[in-house]
Amino acid sequence: MSFKNKINSFFKFIHPDVLGNSASEEIRKNNENSIKEFNSYLENLDNSQKFEKKTLYFYIKIEKKSSFNSEKQNDYFEKISVDLKEVNQNISDANKYAIQSKYK
């Protein structure tokens, strides 16, 4: 699976539309903003532009099921972090690959 396909698979778990109605507006907005930042990072990586080191936070939906029956109970959201490395201008292809490998 290619790097971009793996990123798209990740986005399917954290996209605000996937989180459903049980996610608060704050959680949905956080993920929306973090997706924008991550896309900017990937674009800067492709264009060899500078990007400061940053940590992004995402919420993923965890479906909670009762241990006594198969009925779904309330969903909850777990906060995860993704550390983005600094990208300098004129980054080499080898360094781009090394950074991309981190997110595979």
- Span 5-17, pLDDT tens digits: 888 888 888 998 8
Exposed, middle or buried, 46 (CB in 10 Å: 0-12/13-18/19+)?
Answer: exposed
CA separation for the pair 57, 54 (Å, rounded): 10
**Cα–Cα distance measured from residue 36 to residue 32, given in angstroms and rounded to the nearest whole number:** 6
Checking if the pLDDT of 35 tops 70, the result is: yes
At residue 104, does pLDDT exceed 60? no
Looking at every residue in the chain, the average pLDDT score rounds to 80
Q: What is the mean pLDDT of residues 71-97?
A: 77
Considering its fold, how many domains does the chain have in total? 1
Range of the domain at 54: 3-102
pLDDT bin (cut points 50, 70, 90) of residue 57 is: very high
